[in-house]
Amino acid sequence: PRLPPPHHLRTTDRPTMSGLGNMAGLGSALPARDGGGGKKKGGGSDKKGNKKQEDSEEGEDSDFTEGVDQKEVMQALSQLNGNKGLVSALQQKLDGLVGSSSGFVESLHYKVRARVEALGGLQETHDELFEAFLKEKRELDQRYRALYQPLYIKRAAIVKGEEDVEAIAEAGDLEEEAAAGDEAPSGIPDFWLMAMRNNETLEEQITERDDPALQHLVDITCSRLEGDQKGFILDFHFAQPNPYFSNAVLSKTYNMIDEEDPMLESVEGTEIQWLPGKNLCVKVLRKKPKKGAKNAKPITKTEQCESFFNFFSPPAIPEEEDDLEEEEAEALQDAMENDYEIGMMFKEKIIPDAVSWFTGEANQEDSDDEDYDDDDEDDVHQAVSRIQAIIRSRQAREQYLRLRKVTTSLQERIAARARGEDVMDGGDLEDYDNEDEDEDDHNDNDRVQKPSVA
């Protein structure tokens, strides 16, 4: 789904006079500020013709800028320089102009305006129906969530070993169990770990160091936020006690502005209470002290490392007044989109269809969906082209091997003649080449038959 940036996340640089002039709709009509606001050296022209040509090239509207006292505008804008409060007020004022009438509709013929107004009435009716649809959809979703809940509870009980099912041993099962001498494990070991590992997106987030901790994961649930809040919360339930952290539940909350669009407002994660020396999100680096140092103890420091449990430390969204460079904002946006994608993966795929992910069937279905899409025909043509290229490369290799064989034979004859030995004359060589050609024809016939077999 499309994920727009948070409503209060925007990039801001230090405002410039030309930038504020553009914000005000004056374009480049405002001169660049150089000290006291004079013209740049070498810029401009005294000839009116050249001046009009420059304005045309820069895309200015001479009719719009005509009558604007640029000195007064520059004097007003210069008061904003360095004052974030006034700049913010101006930005809000300009934002309020977005969506205001441009006069286009008013300029239409009165009959056309009437038709446009009629379409507006139809649109209002459509919007009302759409709102009713969304309301019924939410009610239907809530009703079926309640029906799903007992199934999820029973699944969790079986996975944990709190509830068992009748099992009929097949031929050989009892012999294998007797030979191994082991009793059946409780529940389904590593159920959620295997389900997550079989998902390509989640598998990239899990490291080998995470596996022992995720073996204690016994259930994952999802619920909607209560009241008027929009969004959902993921709860990861861990067996207690476990040797890594004291939290029984690790939660991840996605607060949404709009769930249909969707637009993400903020993300919150549980702070993990790691046991001493068990933090999987950091690694400890030890450095031996230099020889002769007063402190003989090794120097240790910690640094962040890759781990699935970083999922519970979502990207921090800056406050509205915080400024971000463009690269920083893009990096934050990418991190938020990746985090949201993982959250939706749990909500829409892993939790509803956990057993299929555990067995690997869901992964196969996903692969099939990717292989057979609307571009199947193009994919077939590309596959045929690749096969043809492979066949051509094999034919070229066979020709090369035959040529190398003949070349080697010729080199051996030349060497034999140099040693004074008897060698085949030209007729024998011609016969040899003809035999090789006969063999080539035979191989060509075989190759002609192969595609039909395939």
Highest mean pLDDT out of 299-303, 322-326, 419-423: 299-303
- pLDDT above 50 for 245: yes
Please, which residues have CB within 8 angstroms of residue 222's CB and are 6 or more apart in sequence?
Answer: 232, 233, 234, 235, 346, 347, 351
Provide the angle, in degrees to the nearest 10, between the axes of the packed helices 376-418 and 426-453. Answer: 160
pLDDT in tens, 108-136: 999 999 999 999 999 999 999 999 998 99
Residue 47: which pLDDT band, with cuts at 50, 70 and 90? very low
**The pLDDT of residue 437:** 47
Mean pLDDT of the chain: 75
Q: Facing residues of 284 across strands? A: 302
- Hey, which of 3-12, 87-96, 283-292 has the most confident mean pLDDT? 283-292
* DSSP-assigned letters across all residues of 204-244: TT--TTTHHHHTTEEEEEEEEPSTT--EEEEEEEE-SS-SS
150 three-state secondary structure: helix
Per-residue pLDDT, 62 = 53
Confidence of residue 30 (pLDDT cuts 50, 70, 90): very low
Beta-strand relationship, 217-224 and 231-238:
antiparallel
- Per-residue pLDDT, averaged over 36-55, amounts to 45
- Give the model's pLDDT for residue 443: 47
Q: Which of 352, 350, 372 is nearest to 363 (CA)?
A: 350
Hey, what are 59's tokens? 């895309």
Report the pLDDT value the prediction gives residue 368, as an integer from 0 to 100: 56
**Binning pLDDT at 50, 70 and 90, where does residue 279 land?**
very high
What are the tens digits of pLDDT across the range 379-397?
666 776 776 676 666 677 7
Instruction: Using the predicted structure, report yes or no on whether residue 39 has a pLDDT greater than 80.
Output: no
Per-residue pLDDT tens over the stretch 325-366: 788 888 888 888 899 999 999 999 999 999 999 999 987 766
Q: Which of 273, 215, 206, 223 is nearest to 239 (CA)?
A: 215
- Mean pLDDT of the 398-408 span: 76
**Residue 318, pLDDT score:** 72
DSSP per residue, 357-405: HHHTHHHHHHHHHHHSSTTHHHHHHHHHHHHHHHHHHHHHHHHHHHHHH
pLDDT at 434: 46
pLDDT band for position 67 (50/70/90)?
low
3-state secondary structure of 91: helix
Look at residue 59 and tell me whether its pLDDT is greater than 70.
no
Residue 264 pLDDT more than 50?
yes
Paired residues of 300 in beta bridges: 286
8 with 320: CB under 8 angstroms? Answer: yes
For residues 86 and 79, the answer to whether their CB atoms sit within 8 Å is yes
pLDDT band at 373 (very low <50, low <70, confident <90, very high): low
Q: Taking 70 as the threshold, does the pLDDT of residue 272 lie above it? A: yes
CB-CB contact of 274 with 254 (8 Å): no
- Round to whole Å and give the CA distance between 181 and 301: 47
Q: What is the mean pLDDT of residues 258-263?
A: 76
Write the single-letter amino acid at 82: G
Q: What is the pLDDT of residue 241?
A: 92
Alpha-carbon distance 249 to 263, whole Å?
27
Q: Are 293 and 271 in contact (CB under 8 A)?
A: no
Q: Which of 331, 327, 344, 324 is nearest to 264 (CA)?
A: 344
Tell me the two tokens of residue 316.
Answer: 């921090």
